[in-house]
Amino acid sequence: MSLLASSSAPTPLYAIYQQHWGFSPITVTIVFGTYAVAVLVSLLIFGRVSDKVGRRPVLLMALLVQVVAMVVFISAGDVGTLLVGRVLQGVSTGAAVGAIGAGMLDIDARKGSLLNSFAPTMGTASGAIASGLIVQYLPAPTHLIYAVLLGVFVVQALAVLALNETVTRKPGALSSLVPEFKLPRSARASVAIATPVIFAVWALAGLYGALGPAITRTLVRSDSVVWGGLPLFVISSCAGLAVLLVRSAGTRTMMLISIGTLVVGVTITLVSIGSGSGGTASVIGFFVGGAISGVGFGSGFQGGIRLVIPQVQPQERAGVLSLLYVVCYVGLGVPAVIAGALIVHGGGLIQTSREYGIAVIVLALAALAGLLLSGRRVESAQRVSVIRSQDFITEEAPVAQVSKV
């Protein structure tokens, strides 16, 4: 949660940075996208290393890099320094998310699967709104939020030292640093089904993270940074709530809920944006659409993880989780950077937001087509998921019995 809160903390500050340093909207999306690219590179390089060296060393190093990133943000005086901070954030988060997710699954498979979906969404929500409130109402607006997070990371780094390691150290740590797109055969069908949904929901998060503050300022006609952080807070908090509410649903049902609410929510958002003229109805519709879309975000993200992870062995979890996060951050970063270019060189903010939303709807419908065409495989994956979940929860089933199943 703290890592994702840190990643969303700069969102309300972009307007202040833009005023102080005079950069264009495309620069905002480049700064946003730089973080996603850094996460991607880090996932590819460090995603599997915790399966070899253990979870604790990876988490400790990631937290220490976050401390350095917070120091960079506190001292930032131009766009270049801001980009350095975002790169450090991305490298740290990319290295940590696979290790954290796999570590939670090592401890408790069912709770770990739930928290792998719940924690990122709630971390994103809390970072966006906490940053907005601190910047708006407390002193040192471009420094205090980072100082608070720095203290959190220092405490967490000390706490990691007290954790029990859940992985036995194995040889091959250096070879695990070589990027490779390798999936266990058992998980390939599930990943093919989950990928379009995961990409679509994180592309939606990219819309609210990169363009949400500017859209809100246009609709509300206010420069308050609280309003700037509110869109990302709404979609992320509703995503976290959805994770809890649909956790007992079947995987296929969860995916269908995600697609349906994405289409409905984004449609309401697009209608509300309209011509960008603002008004109470437009503002309410924008946030209602975001809330409904957030349900799609949470259910789709959880459904994708729950579909895939039970298909892999414990020693493969960090690598497969990291691959799923690669899909997430491609969806988060690439469309956002393209949108920034279109704002400057295309039809402007409102038109670009409308095109972005339509693209998300198309992605969701493509995911629906894939899900319906692969219905039998999903149902089969669900049955295997239950069997394997029970197996790696208890870790008591004899090998012969597992093979027989």
Q: Tens digit of pLDDT for each residue in 340-375?
A: 778 877 778 888 888 888 888 888 888 788 778 766
HSE-up (13 A, CA, CB side) for residue 352:
25
What is the pLDDT at residue 405?
34
Ordered by start, the domain boundaries in the chain are 2-163+185-404
In CATH, the number for domain 2-163+185-404 is 1.20.1250.20
d(CA 110, CA 104): 9
Nearest to 87 by CA among 36, 45, 127, 128: 36
Asked if 339 and 29 touch (Cβ cutoff 8 Å), the reply is yes
What is the pLDDT at residue 383?
53
Angle between helices 212-220 and 225-245 (to 10 degrees): 120
Residues of the chain predicted below pLDDT 50: 378, 381-382, 385-386, 388-405
Which residues of 55-99 form beta strands (DSSP E)?
none
What is the pLDDT at residue 159?
93
